[in-house]
Structure 1
Amino acid sequence: MASPRTLTRPGSAGSSSTTSRSSFESRHKSPLSVSSSADYNSSRTSQDSSFSNDAPVHSSTNKWTSARRSYTEPIVKVSSHSQHSDGGKGRRKTLMTPQRLSKRPQSPTGPSIGTKYTPKAPGEGFGNLPEEILLVVLAELKKVHLDAGSLSCSTCWMRDLASLSLSCKKWWGAARTTLYEDVQLIGNDSILHTKKKLKMKYGTRLKLLRRTLRARPDLAEYVKILKVPAMPDAAKNKKDQDEYLDQVASVIMACPNLERLPGFHPAYTHEFPRFVHALSTRKKLQERVWIISESPFQRQHRYKASDDSDYLTPVIAPNSLLPEQSIDFLMFHSNWSHLKTLVLHCNQGGIVDSPLLIDTLKQLPALENLHVSSFSESSFNDTTLLSLPPLRSLRLDNLAGVTDNGLSSFASAGKSNGLKTFSLNSLPLLSLPVLARLFSHLKSLTHFTVSQVPSPSLPTGVDIFLHPYLASSTLQYLHWEFTNPGDTTANEILSKAISFSGFPALRTLRAPTDSDGSLQKLCKPRDRIELSGDRYRNGGCESMPSMPFAAPTRPFSAGNGQSGPRDPTSQPSLTRSAFSMRLENKSQCSAESNVQVTGMSLSIARMTAQRRIDTAVSAPQYHIIIWDPEGQFLERFAVGGFIGDLGSKINYSLRPDVDGMDEAICRIEGAGGLLQGGDETNLKDNCTGSWNMEAGERSKGKGKDRWWHTERGRWREMPLEKLF
């Protein structure tokens, strides 16, 4: 038999092969060919094998001329033994499945032959997760337990963290950071620990925590926020109270990186307690609240009020501090190089000399936020104000020593250029030009609060001819409140300033004493401004108003059709609130007449603002009249109006700083203030852990030992940022 090389192809087959091959090479080669890659590979393999020494030619017809090639498909030659593997029938097989027919993607650098995909073992993917993702999951778990409206408490939250940390080492690494970074000990101690195990009256959890932190210094380094229980009821005398403060001090000394101690602010009487000393040694402390009280070593004398302090609370000021007391107070601030927020509040009889206060503030290089309230004229005056370091937030509250001249000089000083938040509460600010100077000189001011009884006015014989008289290009938030009845001079000047684009960056305006609605008319229209709880408040009227029946009417219209004209106020509007309808009856409620006297009550301010909105909706704003093509009158609609400016960017807000309060501004003392403890001792809605029990376990009495804990209140922290 002749060798395959000596065989000659028919001429027609050769020419056809040459022509087909040249036409194939010149043809556009699309990577998305409609022909199967398997057909092309088999055809190309048979053609290539026809030129080899071992593969005979079985047919004179060229089989590969109709195939199409794709650039994404590799070309692989087949060994000669593949002919005999199929019984000598001449069928060719490829050694690799084409990419488009493969079950898994090929390597970008080339095909990998003989490799198989091995699935990961269970838990291997979780083990490769970074710890940052686990911390985010634990942060969401904290929100579920501690956010407002939750049935859980901090005890249930820490118990879940402890259980989760025992599941595996991966969770333990993330859970210990979350568990010890923010330690919250709230409410009373368990009776099981106080009477049976440790036999202590109070402080059992503090003792156990101190033992853990001392035995594990690595865990103590995580503690940044420490919430200790409030002063227990069992500590009735001064000896027991000092003993409890010593326990708190021992826990503080075991936390080297402590930054915050929220919700626990005992009074300072210029003595040397261990609690104050322990806080003074924490070098990373970022906030401190001083409640200065009367010292037993000072003699008291009555403070003589000045002419500008008629509206201020009388203050009884003691004599100056002793030298050793001044030195101790100054040394307490020597280690706080990271302190950012400082709150100074003086109770009746307390004192901190003005030079001592100036020297103290100079030792705080990182200070940004300062709150000073209820100090006498000898403690805080214009000299002290001008000596303040550069700040970002400043609040002055009930300070008789601060005058109009001091505020004017402070605004002109260069150190006030970086001030962004400025609050003036219960100050003798009687000059409107001083207020205008504050707006114009504070170049970085974004939040401003002014709240006092008298309204600032213009000097005698001074008139305003050019507006805006009050102007600030950077102010974004403004709280404007003057509670003097019948004095609306400042409101009129502010409304003109806003109308003449004096505050282009203003976005939020809160004016509880806007009795005539002159400021509300300049803000965005709102259909609802009262809160859901306002209708159940007893604002001098019945607590549960009755909703009268309202017949269905056309939306936004109270029209008169062919039947004749109709009074637009004859039927109550569907969009009007029950409280606004109740306010319309003047014989039953006189909230509008008393709104200026009780201007700090936000519930009455919201009721009055809502009544103005409903009145504007019921009154026709414009009329729509319809005629037929013959000019005959068909129907007339009176479209209801609104109060506000559609083109305004200002939001009219009457919400308090702290949700649930009836006063707009958060204060140190009073209901909902900083010293109230955040409802830690609330006995109405405490948590026992029973929320986590199933219905069957609760009915049968099972699972109590598993989920039950001592009944404790739900503590809500009030951040110090709310004071500014």
Structure 2
Amino acid sequence: MESPRPRPIARPGSAGSISSGRFSYESRAKSPLSIISSVDSFETGRTSLESQASSNSSLARRGPTPVYAHGNGAPNRAPMAPMPMSSKNGPKFESTSLPPTPSRLGPQKGAVSKTGGGLAGVRYLRTLTPGEGFKKLPKEILLVILQELRRSHVEAGSLSCATCWMRDCCNLALSCKKWWRATRNILYEDIQLIGCDSIMHTKKKFKMKYGTRLTLLRRTIREQPDLADCVKTLKVPSMPEAAKTKKEREDYLDLVASVIMSCPNLERLPGFYPAYTHEFSRFVHAISTRTKLLEQVWVIDPSPFQRQHRYTLSEDSRNLYPTLIPGLLLPEQCVEFLDYHSNWDNLQTLFLHCNPGGTLDSALLMDIFASLPSLQHLNVSSFPAPAFTDDTLLSLPPLKSLRLDSVPGISASGLSTYASLPTSNTLASLTLISIPVLSLPALARLFSRLASLTAFTISQAPAPSLPMGEEIFMHPYLASSTLQSLHWEITNPLSEQATDILSKSIQFNGFPSLKTLRTPADYTGSFQALCKPRDKIELPGDRYRNIHQHLPSSQSLPNLPSPSPTKGSFFGSANNSQASFSMPPSPAYVTSPTKSVFSFNEKEEEALSSSGGRSLAQARRQAQSRIEGADKHPQFHIIVWDDDNQFVERFAVGSFVGQVQSKIWYSLKPDIEGMDEAIVRMNTLLDGGEEVAMRDGCTGNWNLDVDKSAKGRNMGKEKWWHTERGRWKEVGLEKFF
């Protein structure tokens, strides 16, 4: 006899829906909205096929629902508490009481589930697959991340270098295609090959003395033209030490020229400035063919066909001895040098520097300036007198920045005439170094006629003066309404007339827009007294410079004084207006905590002032000594009485140097951090920087994991180690203006 079939258990009344003949384990708990939807569909006699299909598919993905027994023995599922969420098509529900869904049964990519028997348009939240959010990131965000990564490798003070940056960037590019599309732009847009090549490559793998990285780079960009189009800045290693003969140096220049010819969009070649010898060079020819070049530095060497002859600056100069200068170039040399500039329609920055014996013709320079339509920044340095004259200056196109360094052919009258030309209305930065300008009226015309001038620099030994018999009755004599930055350096301290006139002009609001004033030769402190008061001017290392010249060999550094934490020690105690210090016993040669072995004595300061040879660190120390000297002389006192008119305490407030209402910042920092000279010179640009004089090179070991075992450390060293290379710091050409 067959056993009776099990009776289907009816849905309990608490379910809130009409029984449809299904088994209890096939039913699902309903939310209030789904109940209303079921009742409505029952009353209208319509059933939604889409809701049933969605319910079945959702049930299949979720698996069997747990069943619980009630007190009457009827099994039922655990109640759910759906949470409504806003949506465009209708409310969403997110269940918080369902058991976790197995990953293998979870919703697939792009799958959307609806509630069984519920409203049409009610959707559950879709779970994002791993990596799906990364694929939606725009490329601009990835570029910002890569720029920050590059900055952490190559910025000043970093333990890493450009080699480590390129290695990490390559590893990141190999992770996925999206990173590769972003990293190739950053990696190939600014290529930095610094230091010597690896010995493993030069001797064992490629059997070459030098140039292995350049050879590999050339092969890569030749095989992939899309990467070659990305190259805009290329830093190649300096001339290797292994290239000792002239033939080897020419071969290296030819190798660099082949790499340049493979980069059609090259804009800059920083840190590599070989001299021009007036002979054909593949390197110079390759540079001349780059139509998108933005900057070019010419270092002119003497020509073997030039002869030296005597030259006098002025026929009326009886006290000036004639100097030896090179003669004129050959006509074919002038034509060849002019042709190199024919493709540079986008060139914006041009540097012209002559080594001893080198020269260019004035007429040739005029033709060069006329052939560069986009020229904006010009630097001319160390040119002989007949090569760059007042006529050459007057032929300049409209510029934004002009720097003249050691150009004796320029006179004060030529500068004042140039300032009155319409082409000088766009000039925003003017730098005059060792010209010199000996006429104060000419300097006044420069300030008044240059309508767009915002930065002015003058550095020379003799001071400009007024003509004989001329006096000034009204101030300001020197005035500029647009000037924002002023560098004034007259190294001869015997003549203070120009310094006094300039300080009075600033005091009487002759420069209303002036924000920064840098005067390394401020011997009397007249300019410091016109600027904002500052508590600290000298840098931490200024007091320790040249300390070995003042300390005996058997003595050590004295202990620095420490302030006593007594009441009122900042302003002074009741019985003493100065701050109280606990001084350790000091040697006999230490006179005071502020003027000891860290400072020059008065005789040394006078000798430095009379000679004019003073560094920027000495200027900061002298300015700091004025501030510390003003603190010792109280400007006013604060006396405190109690309610019974009894004396309590007295504070002596020290004085300061400067004017509180002034908007001018007194600066004694150099153009490039770490330099002793305020103004950056051409030798700083041409010496190669840290690439040649390597102090603390990088080998990549900063990224080595030292927590691994000995075998792991050896493997890490093989992975991260590279040839020791210096941390090259680029000297930007914008620092010269």
Task: Specify the TM-score bucket, using the shorter chain as the normaliser.
Answer: 0.7 to 0.9
- Counterpart of 2:40? 79
1:687 alignment partner in structure 2 = 698
CA–CA distance in structure 1, aligned partners of residues 83 and 520 of structure 2: 72
Structure 1 unaligned runs (5+)? 1-44, 46-74, 85-96
Structure 1 residue 460 and structure 2 residue 468: aligned? Answer: yes
Instruction: Give the whole-Å Cα distance in 2 for the aligned partners of 1:109 and 1:308.
Output: 97
Matched with 1:647 is 661
CA distance in 1, matches of 2:175, 2:577: 72
C-alpha distance 229-268 of structure 1, shift in aligned 2 (>3 A) = same
Structure 2, unaligned runs of 5 or more: 1-15, 17-35, 46-79, 93-119, 585-590
Contact kept in structure 2, 1:303 and 1:315, CA below 8 Å = yes
Q: Give 2:705's aligned amino acid.
A: E
Whether 1:107 aligns to 2:88 is yes
C-alpha distance in 2 between matches for 1:394 and 1:579 = 45
User: CA–CA distance in 1 between the matches of 2:525 and 2:416?
Assistant: 30
**Share of identical aligned residues, percent?**
57
Q: Distance in 2 between matches of 1:251 and 1:310?
A: 55
SS at match of 1:624: strand
1:384 maps onto 2:392 in alignment? yes
SS at match of 1:233: coil
Quickly say closer, same or farther: Cα 1:190–1:80, change in 2 above 3 A: closer
User: 2:564, 2:319 → 1: CA distance?
Assistant: 51
Alpha-carbon offset, residue 589 of structure 1 = 7.5
What's 2:652 paired with? 638
Name 1:659's counterpart in structure 2: 673
Count of matched residue positions in the alignment of Structure 1 and Structure 2: 634
**How far 1:269 sits from its partner (Å)?**
1.2
Tell me, what secondary structure is at the counterpart of 2:469?
coil
Separation (CA, whole Å) in 2 of partners of 1:162 and 1:312: 62
Aligned to 2:500: 492
1:323-356 deviation digits (Å, cap 9, x = unpaired): 1100011000000000000000011111110010
**Quick one: structure 1 residues 474 and 224, their matched pair in 2 at CA, closer, same or farther if it must change by over 3 Å?**
same
Partner residue of 1:710? Answer: 723
> How far, CA to CA, are the matches of 2:696 and 2:317 in structure 1?
43
Matches within 5 A, 1:552-701: 552-554=565-567, 559=572, 561=574, 565-566=575-576, 568=578, 580-582=594-596, 590-591=604-605, 593-595=607-609, 597-598=611-612, 600-627=614-641, 633-669=647-683, 673-697=684-708, 701=713
Q: Structure 1: how far apart are the matches of 2:321 and 2:697? A: 37
- How far has the Cα of 1:567 moved from its partner? 6.1
Q: Distance in 2 between matches of 1:202 and 1:238?
A: 15
- Structure 1-normalised TM-score? 0.82
- CA RMSD of superposed structures (Å): 3.3
Matching residue's letter, 2:500 = E
Is contact 1:583–1:611 with CA below 8 Å preserved after alignment? no
Alpha-carbon separation, structure 2, partners of 1:133 and 1:693: 29
Distance 2:666 2:263 in 1: 45
- For the residues of structure 2 that align with 1:337 and 1:535, how far apart are their CA atoms? 50
- Residue number in structure 2 paired with 1:256: 264
Q: 1:723 to 1:487 in 2, by over 3 A?
A: same
Contact map agreement 1:431 1:457 (CA 8 A) in 2: yes
Q: TM-score of the superposition, structure 2-length normalised?
A: 0.80
Q: Is the 8 A contact 1:316 1:349 kept in 2?
A: no
Q: Which residue of 2 aligns with 1:373?
A: 381
The 1:314/1:334 distance shift into structure 2, 3 A limit, reads: farther
What letter corresponds to residue 104 of structure 1 in structure 2?
A: M
Match of 1:329, SS? helix
Residue 176 of structure 1, CA deviation: 0.8
Alignment of structure 1 residues 296-307 onto 2, 5 Å: 296-306=304-314
Kept in 2: contact 1:470–1:494 (CA 8 A): yes
Shift of 1:717: 0.4
Distance 1:464 1:698 in 2: 81
Q: For 1:96-495, list aligned pairs within 5 A.
A: 102-107=83-88, 113-306=121-314, 316-495=324-503
Equivalent position of 1:14 in the other structure: none
Counterparts in 2 of 1:529 and 1:688: CA distance versus 1, 3 Å: same
Distance in structure 2 (CA, Å) of the matches to 1:449 and 1:651: 16
Note if contact 1:424-1:450 (Cα within 8 Å) is conserved in structure 2.
Answer: yes
SS at match of 1:590: helix
Is this contact kept in 2: 1:535–1:544, CA < 8 A? no
2: CA distance between counterparts of 1:309 and 1:342?
A: 33
Stretch deviating more after TM superposition (481-490 or 433-442): 481-490
Asked if the contact 1:268/1:291 (under 8 Å) is kept, the reply is yes
Counterpart amino acid of 1:663?
E
Describe the shift of the 1:585–1:535 C-alpha distance in structure 2 as closer, same or farther (beyond 3 A): closer
User: Using a 3 Å threshold, how does the CA distance of structure 1 residues 502 and 591 change in structure 2: closer, same or farther?
Assistant: same
Q: In structure 2, the residue corresponding to 1:343 is in which secondary structure?
A: strand
Deviation of 1:696 after TM superposition, in Å, equals 2.9
Moved more, 308-317 or 222-231: 308-317
Please give the alpha-carbon distance, in whole angstroms, between the structure 1 residues aligned to 2:368 and 2:224.
35
Cα shift readout 1:122-142 (whole Å, capped 9, x = no counterpart): 111111111111111110110
The CA distance in 2 between the partners of 1:462 and 1:697, in whole Å, is 81
- Asked whether the equivalents of residues 230 and 677 of structure 1 are also in contact (C-alpha less than 8 Å), the reply is yes
The residue type paired with residue 379 of structure 2 is: H
Aligned with 2:524 (options 516, 531, 538): 516
Matched, 1:504 2:485: no
Secondary structure (helix, strand or coil) at the match of 2:504 reads helix
Stretches (4+) displaced over 6 A: 108-111, 307-315, 583-586
